[in-house]
Structure 1
Amino acid sequence: MDMNAYLSMFIDESNDHLQSLNENLLKLENSPEDISIVQTIFRSAHTLKGMSATMGFEDLASLTHEMENVLDLVRNDKLKMDSFIFDTLFKGLDALEAMVQDIIGGGTGKADVTAIVASLQKIFHNDYQSNADNASEGNVPAQVQSASSGVVLLDQFQSSILQQAIGSGQQPYYIRITLDDTCVLKAARAYMVFDLLERTSEIVKSEPSVQDLEQEKFDRSFTVFVISSLPQEGLSEQISRISEIKEAIVTPLDEESLIAMTTAPAAAASEAVAVAEPAKAETKEVKAAQEKKAEPAKSKSGAAPAAVATRTIRVDIDRLDLLMNLFSELLIDRVRLEQLASEIKRNELTETVEHMTRVSSDLQNIVLKLRMVPVDSVFNRFPRMIRDLAKSLDKKMELVITGADTELDRTVIDEIGDPLVHLLRNSVDHGLETPEERLAVGKPETGTIHLRAFHSGNNVFIEVEEDGRGINQERVLKTAIKNGVITEEEANRLTSDEINMLIFAPGFSTADKISDISGRGVGLDVVKTKITSLGGNVTIHSVQGQGTKFSVQLPLTLSIIAAMLIQLGSEKYAVPLSSIVETGVIKRESILNVHGNSMIQFRESIIPLISLSKVLESPDFDESAEEETEIIVIRKGDKWAAVMVDEFIGQSEIVLKSLGGFLSHIPAISGATILGDGYVALIIDPNALIK
């Protein structure tokens, strides 16, 4: 059976289960007595184990098996969750995610999870304390430890060889060798030890591996499992004769200790069924607990309704791109046909084109929705991250997520995760104060981080806001001048927002100490570069002592939008309909002048009036010569503005085409489109017009 054919499915399913495990573990941490959450976690772990075993990823299956053992005790009320168990399970999840990522990158999914497995087995045998630093491993001799102080484990094959040796009258040993601190040629000493052992014993396993020992990838100690007919003292004495050997501890092993050191066997064939039928792979206890927890609702006839199957398929993103491009071409031809039908004026042609328009409009909505993904797929990884950062920094914080159902194009979703991770880590590390600092200035000891997403016109805005220290602008200016980012003369002319934006300069940092979590400004230039490459923008608003808000503006990057076509002199432009509040006409005499800026009255408010011809430097349209002018009222968040245009042409469905590097110096232009008459019209970005 060719497992490569199922690899893509395995990766997708594994990521789903890992995300579910993360989310439900966080829920369980807040409600540790809720057994229903444990049941959900157990089922995800059980299914993941079966999938991994079927695909031949034994390390994944073994680690998941150990996690499953612990969860089984919890769900059967034989073990109470505590902070050590939660931390260990989260570490296990991190290791599982790393192995899946290795598989995605073409690796084998293998990893050294000895320490995590040892911790899980301690929990399973109830042989640990909450700090668990010095707890011993079940029946494993205390001397049997790796150089990293984790318990050394054997796989099923190695364990069976050692156990068979006992049955045949030979003695298996665990040997820990420590070299002198002055030893220079560590690899040579290791070779001499192995040369001796190969002449007197059978080597079963070494830790680190022989290859790592040859390349001196170890500190001062290494361990070996051997089968020998020599007595314990004789073996120890022979090894100790080798020069520069500081210590050689030889520990005899029995069957009980070998069993305790053996990792979980690969899942049996019945476990593999869980890939295709996870529901059937559940144990009787799980089913009984489910039935007891929630009886199914019954219809009026008394019969339980049939379960509704989830009818979904996974589609390669390249196929969606191809579908979008083909439909874009179809739309251009449709607009052209509509124009021809209006010129020819034949009923049969007009009716056919109208029907095609209705059908293609429905098709268009389906195509667009296929590519849209809720930002929740990115946001759902952050609660776990904030939880871990709070523990490592010893800070109290709460993450409040709003607008997670806001949809964004899949291509943008795939790219925006890393910039948001950096902004959040930055806010946690250098934005929020410690509980003591917050109480000293009259703030609640728990800091709050808001992560918001919302639509505005043809864009999505994502905000990261915290109620921490805020940006020290005086310090930012001094650092910027010192690092040569700006001159003192330029610094005097900067506005408050422009000073804040200095932290996006390459390599800029005001941190006294660079942490491994973040440094305000360290890497923020990379964040800005990534967002800009997506056609977006990032701004900062900060008040010292009150907090900082990062606002990220991203285009939907849809290929097809509804737009208002306008005329400006001899040129045609398109404005996304989603950004337009209303259109109108104003008289020249109603334009107000406020501190040198043109304003108009709109709905009992005074809003700016923007000249589109000046923004675009249009030479063949003089708006000052007209007695009255058409305007488009646009909105960006809570900000409004009116834009003067020459005349309106009408509404149309347009296909967005990227201009690449052309006209990149004009921020108001977001792309171009081909009209029904074959002419090209530039697309206006209304959000760039509102400062």
Structure 2
Amino acid sequence: MAFDADEDILQDFIVEAGEILEKLSEQLVDLEQNPDDGELLNAIFRGFHTVKGGAGFLQLDALVNCCHSAENVFDTLRNHKREVDSELMDTVLEALDHTNAMFEQVRHREELTPAPDELIAALDALALPQAAAEQADAKPRPREDEPAASDETNGDITDEEFEQLLDALHGDGPVSGPATGAAETPSEETSGGASDEITDDEFEALLDELHGKGKFTAEPAAGTPDKDSDNADEQITDDEFENLLDELHGKGKSPTPAESEKEAVTPPPPEPARQKSPKAPGAPTRESAPVAETTVRVDTRRLDDIMNMVGELVLVRNRLQRLGSESESEHMHKAVSNLDVVTTDLQAAVMQTRMQPIKKVFGRFPRVVRDLARNMKKEVTLVMHGEDTDLDKNLVEALSDPLVHLVRNSVDHGIESPEVREQKGKPRKGTVTLSAEQEGDHILLSIDDDGAGMDPEVLRQKAVAKGLYDQEAADRLTDNECFNLIFAAGFSTKEQVSDVSGRGVGMDVVKTKISQLNGQLSVVSAQGKGSRIIIKVPLTLAIMPTLMVMLGRQSFALPLVNVVEIFHLDLTRTNIVDGRECIVVRDKVYPLFHVKRWLVQGAAAEEETHNGHVVIVAMGTHQVGFVVDELIGQEEVVIKPLGQALQGTPGMAGATITGDGRIALIIDVPSLLQHYS
């Protein structure tokens, strides 16, 4: 292993190989669905070949061997010598897992753990053509006391074996040793001596013996071409020569000896072939100018620092806008307006540098669904839409685990077994659809399945049995509220616990994680038709649109993603339902919460007026009314972490500096209600 190589070269390998390995996981699952896709087979072959080449340059031998064996399998597949099946894909996917594990070790500069010998042997067996593999299984095994030629020569064919192979081709008797008058010629003499030199016809016959007649035979042109032009058309390619060496030497050897064998055995190409060959890469023509690089690699921490500075600039912009509104100077108004435009553009540009396509998360799901469906004896197709939708890189990383939980839940709980689906008149193969789209300054993610759906009555009874509701309260739950019970802690509809689900953990963790991202989570379902889980998250976590409100003399910021509507209210016209103060708006009942009583010390009920502003906020399908003293307006804020003295304060997500220079606390709506109500 050579981690002492140039750091730039190592980083280039990590970036390139990382992208290739991400694609391979999706391509392999796609290949299982489309085994005859020649372009896909070639793409996978090139992927393993490219990673092998980079690893070989860095002397990462364990990674080279695993990729080389996998590459050989796909070379056999693309030459139509073997067919794709589930058992083959299981082995190749296992090889990809070990390749990914070794790649992570390279990323962390750790010693590589080679793939198991059994896996390499299994890959090498799959790299043999189907007929050859069956013949190899039928042949008797060599005696244990008989040393194998590969043990003595490290897999290289000896001169004597090569002589015997040639004699067998020409019909001569088997040669047990050198013939009289013919000395044992080393490889240098074999390639250079006139008497023992292999001719073009002999080499063609050798290839025909290994690959079958006509494999490399060129179609003669009209007339009788001369020998040189004939040879020029019949030049063996690098891939064909590597296959030939693999047949002779065994699979999985380092590519370095292959180059020396190529020089020793291949006859020198005739002059016309040299004229036809393109110029060597090392000799650029005068017309080809070097292409300037259009990309540059930047540490993500530097992007985070720039984003923080843009955030500070946004705060200054807000402050100047507030001051400018109080000024009567036209020049001041123009300067502040220009600053606002430039700051907004700069903020958008910096945010764009942090954006990544959601495909970085979606790319892992074909493998997740494939393995889970195979393990549970189900047939499931994964369909993905909106993979190019961009969002903040921090959100891409944070959404990975919640989405894995939800997709696994759809396959486990949602999709029925093929037999059950047939009985219901459905196709044997179920479908899980993963979608992403941008809606304003938010991203909408949805996970759909065409499975069994959910029965709200079963969920009500489960909620009563778990002690979450009494029977009367459970009966008042709407169907959508019942569906959202699956996110309650310890709630599970599985009768049997498996290694996939049934313990009641996972879905509540998903809800907590989405809430931490200032997102919303909701479920809709139709019994017998399927379910849909919808996630709504902001594009970025760095700068948040908020509604600024006043409680007493203190400013607070409500995340705008939670705000549904605002209205003025006569607080004397409220009702009491189940001991809780409520209001009725357009025939809908909203529980009322006086946030000031919770957050502002010394706020007495008698100090409150009969009139107030009510902000309806939403958490999933639940909507409640927050009573506030004053509405200031919408403002973009930069989230700052709370100091040590305030860390862990219930209902607080952080702090910010308002346009008038004061500090405002940012309200975490789910946490606030969970703690105080």
Band of TM-score, shorter chain: 0.5 to 0.7
RMSD: 5.1
Q: Note the C-alpha offset of 1:517.
A: 3.9
- Residues 394 and 434 of structure 1 are in contact (CA less than 8 Å); yes or no, is this contact kept in structure 2? yes
Q: Note the C-alpha offset of 1:365.
A: 1.0
Q: Which residue of 1 aligns with 2:63?
A: 60
Q: Secondary structure at the match of 1:573?
A: strand
Q: Note the C-alpha offset of 1:116.
A: 3.3
Q: Which residue of 2 aligns with 1:265?
A: 254
Decide whether aligned partners of structure 1 residues 442 and 412 sit closer, same or farther in structure 2, where only a CA change above 3 A counts.
same
Decide whether aligned partners of structure 1 residues 540 and 344 sit closer, same or farther in structure 2, where only a CA change above 3 A counts.
closer
Q: Note the C-alpha offset of 1:480.
A: 9.4
Decide whether aligned partners of structure 1 residues 349 and 457 sit closer, same or farther in structure 2, where only a CA change above 3 A counts.
closer
Q: 1:559 aligns with which of 513, 533, 542?
A: 542
- Residues 524 and 532 of structure 2 are in contact (CA less than 8 Å); yes or no, is this contact kept in structure 1? yes
Q: 1:428 aligns with which of 411, 421, 433?
A: 411
Q: Secondary structure at the match of 1:414?
A: helix
Paired letter, 1:51: G
Q: Which residue of 2 aligns with 1:109?
A: 112
Partners of 2:129 and 2:345 in 1: CA distance: 61
Q: Deviations over 1:230-255 (max 9, x none)?
A: xxxxxxxxxxxxxxxxxxxxxxxxxx
Instruction: Structure 1: state its 5+ residue gaps.
Output: 145-152, 168-255, 271-283, 289-305
Q: Which residue of 1 aligns with 2:432?
A: 449
1:40 aligned to 2:29?
A: no
Instruction: Structure 2: state its 5+ residue gaps.
Output: 161-244, 260-272, 278-288
What TM-score results when the alignment is normalised by the length of structure 2? 0.65
Q: Which residue of 2 aligns with 1:411?
A: 394
Q: 1:599 aligns with which of 584, 589, 613?
A: 584
Identity, % of aligned positions: 33
- Residues 392 and 539 of structure 2 are in contact (CA less than 8 Å); yes or no, is this contact kept in structure 1? yes
Q: Deviations over 1:591-615 (max 9, x none)?
A: 79797742334xxx86858566468
Partners of 1:367 and 1:455 in 2: CA distance: 18
Partners of 1:356 and 1:511 in 2: CA distance: 57
Partners of 1:30 and 1:488 in 2: CA distance: 44
Q: 1:12 aligns with which of 11, 15, 19?
A: 15
Partners of 1:660 and 1:443 in 2: CA distance: 57
Partners of 2:94 and 2:76 in 1: CA distance: 19
Partners of 2:516 and 2:617 in 1: CA distance: 25
Q: Secondary structure at the match of 1:102?
A: helix
Q: Which residue of 1 aligns with 2:665?
A: 682
- Residues 480 and 502 of structure 1 are in contact (CA less than 8 Å); yes or no, is this contact kept in structure 2? no
Q: How do 1:330-349 residues align onto structure 2 when only pairs under 5 Å count? A: 330-343=313-326
Q: Deviations over 1:56-109 (max 9, x none)?
A: 112222222233233334444555444444443333322211221232343233
Q: Note the C-alpha offset of 1:395.
A: 0.8
Q: Note the C-alpha offset of 1:19.
A: 1.8
Q: Which residue of 2 aligns with 1:92?
A: 95
What TM-score results when the alignment is normalised by the length of structure 1? 0.64
Q: Which residue of 1 aligns with 2:187?
A: none
Q: How do 1:632-643 residues align onto structure 2 when only pairs under 5 Å count? A: none
Decide whether aligned partners of structure 1 residues 68 and 635 sit closer, same or farther in structure 2, where only a CA change above 3 A counts.
same
1:440 aligned to 2:443?
A: no
Paired letter, 1:600: V
Q: Deviations over 1:266-302 (max 9, x none)?
A: 46899xxxxxxxxxxxxx9xxx9xxxxxxxxxxxxxx
Partners of 1:453 and 1:417 in 2: CA distance: 13
Q: How do 1:220-299 residues align onto structure 2 when only pairs under 5 Å count? A: 261=250, 263-266=252-255
Q: Which residue of 2 aligns with 1:360?
A: 343
Q: Secondary structure at the match of 2:296?
A: coil
1:399 aligned to 2:382?
A: yes
Decide whether aligned partners of structure 1 residues 514 and 620 sit closer, same or farther in structure 2, where only a CA change above 3 A counts.
closer
Q: Note the C-alpha offset of 1:658.
A: 3.2
Q: 1:51 aligns with which of 27, 50, 54?
A: 54
- Residues 124 and 252 of structure 2 are in contact (CA less than 8 Å); yes or no, is this contact kept in structure 1? no
1:30 aligned to 2:15?
A: no
Which structure shows the bigger proportion of residues in strand conformation? 1
Q: Secondary structure at the match of 2:397?
A: helix
Paired letter, 2:62: D
1:571 aligned to 2:540?
A: no
Decide whether aligned partners of structure 1 residues 135 and 425 sit closer, same or farther in structure 2, where only a CA change above 3 A counts.
farther
Q: Deviations over 1:604-640 (max 9, x none)?
A: x86858566468566379898466x666676778888
Q: Which residue of 2 aligns with 1:232?
A: none
Q: How do 1:507-518 residues align onto structure 2 when only pairs under 5 Å count? A: 514-518=497-501
Q: How do 1:163-174 residues align onto structure 2 when only pairs under 5 Å count? A: none
Partners of 1:80 and 1:532 in 2: CA distance: 47
Partners of 2:606 and 2:355 in 1: CA distance: 42
Q: Secondary structure at the match of 1:448?
A: strand
Q: Deviations over 1:494-551 (max 9, x none)?
A: 6765897578646x87756554444452555665665566566766667776656555
Q: Which residue of 1 aligns with 2:308?
A: 325
- Residues 608 and 642 of structure 1 are in contact (CA less than 8 Å); yes or no, is this contact kept in structure 2? yes
Q: Which residue of 1 aligns with 2:282?
A: none
Q: Secondary structure at the match of 2:408?
A: helix
Q: Note the C-alpha offset of 1:16.
A: 0.8
Decide whether aligned partners of structure 1 residues 360 and 518 sit closer, same or farther in structure 2, where only a CA change above 3 A counts.
same
Partners of 1:355 and 1:469 in 2: CA distance: 57
Q: Which residue of 2 aligns with 1:245?
A: none
Q: Note the C-alpha offset of 1:582.
A: 6.9
Q: Note the C-alpha offset of 1:258.
A: 11
State the number of aligned residues. Answer: 548
Partners of 1:573 and 1:83 in 2: CA distance: 58
Q: Secondary structure at the match of 1:400?
A: strand
Q: Which residue of 1 aligns with 2:225?
A: none
Partners of 1:543 and 1:443 in 2: CA distance: 15
- Residues 63 and 92 of structure 1 are in contact (CA less than 8 Å); yes or no, is this contact kept in structure 2? yes
Q: Deviations over 1:388-424 (max 9, x none)?
A: 2222322122323345444443223223323432333
Q: Secondary structure at the match of 1:671?
A: strand
Q: Note the C-alpha offset of 1:425.
A: 2.7
